[in-house]
Amino acid sequence: MPRRTPAPYASGVPDPALQLSPSAGGRPDLEAAELWQLLDDAPSAVLLVRSGHPLLWANAPARTLFGSADLALTGRLLTDLMPTLKPEDLAGQGRRATDREHVGGRRTVQAGVRADGTRFPAEVTVSVTSAAGADFLVLVRELDTGPSDDQAELAALRERTDVVFDSLAEGVLGIDGSGAVSFGNLAAAQLVQRRRTDLPGTPWHSVLHGDRCTLDPCALADPLALAGQTISPVELRRRGGGTLPVEISLRMLRGGDGAPGVVVTLHDLTERLRMEQLKDELVSTVSHELRTPLTSIRGSLSLLRAGAVDPGSEQGRRMIEIATTSSERLSRLLDDILDLGRLQAGKVPLSISRQNATTLLAAAAQAVSGSAVTGGVLLRTVENEERVMADADRAVQVLINLVGNAVKFSPPGSTVTLAARREGDRVLLSVTDEGLGIPSDQLGRIFNRFAQVDGSDTREHDGAGLGLAIAQGLAEQHGGTLTATSELGTGSTFVLSLPAAPAR
Binding site for ligand ADP (CB under 6 A): 401, 405-406, 409, 433, 435-436, 438, 446, 451-453, 456, 458, 463-469, 492
427 or 464: CB nearest ligand ADP: 464
User: Would you tell me how many other CB atoms lie within 10 Å of the CB of residue 441?
Assistant: 8
CB of residue 273 vs ligand ADP: minimum separation in angstroms? 26
CB of residue 473 vs ligand ADP: minimum separation in angstroms? 11
Closest CA to 403 of 364, 434, 352: 364
| The one-letter amino acid at 219 | A
CB of residue 337 vs ligand ADP: minimum separation in angstroms? 12
415-423 β-sheet, strand order: 378-381, 415-423, 426-432, 491-499, 481-487
89 or 339: CB nearest ligand ADP: 339
384 or 458: CB nearest ligand ADP: 458
Measure Cα distances from 486 to 469, 473, 490 in Å.
18, 21, 8
Distance CA 498, CA 222 (A): 60
Q: Where are the alpha helices (DSSP H) in 19-167?
A: 32-41, 60-65, 78-81, 87-91, 147-167
Helix axes 392-408, 357-375, angle to 10 degrees: 30
CB of residue 220 vs ligand ADP: minimum separation in angstroms? 45
CB of residue 176 vs ligand ADP: minimum separation in angstroms? 56
CB of 124 closer than 8 Å to CB of 138? yes
Q: Where are the alpha helices (DSSP H) in 380-448?
A: 392-408
184 or 473: CB nearest ligand ADP: 473
93 or 486: CB nearest ligand ADP: 486
Distance CA 194, CA 210 (A): 11
What residue number has its CB nearest to ligand ADP? Answer: 463
Q: End-to-end alpha-carbon separation of the chain, Å? A: 108
CB of residue 359 vs ligand ADP: minimum separation in angstroms? 23
Residues contacting 7, CB < 8 A, separation 6+: 13, 14, 15, 57
Q: Output Rg (C-alpha) for the chain, integer angstroms.
A: 45
84 or 285: CB nearest ligand ADP: 285
Residues contacting 328, CB < 8 A, separation 6+: none
Distance CA 484, CA 380 (A): 19
Distance CA 434, CA 175 (A): 66
182 or 430: CB nearest ligand ADP: 430
CB of residue 217 vs ligand ADP: minimum separation in angstroms? 52
21 or 285: CB nearest ligand ADP: 285
CB of residue 463 vs ligand ADP: minimum separation in angstroms? 2
β-bridge mates for residue 261, sequence order: 253
State the pairing for strand pair 415-423/378-381. Answer: parallel
CB of residue 432 vs ligand ADP: minimum separation in angstroms? 9
Distance CA 273, CA 288 (A): 22
DSSP 3-state assignment of 314? Answer: helix
CB of residue 467 vs ligand ADP: minimum separation in angstroms? 3
113 or 340: CB nearest ligand ADP: 340
CB of residue 454 vs ligand ADP: minimum separation in angstroms? 8
| The one-letter amino acid at 6 | P
35 or 470: CB nearest ligand ADP: 470
57 or 409: CB nearest ligand ADP: 409
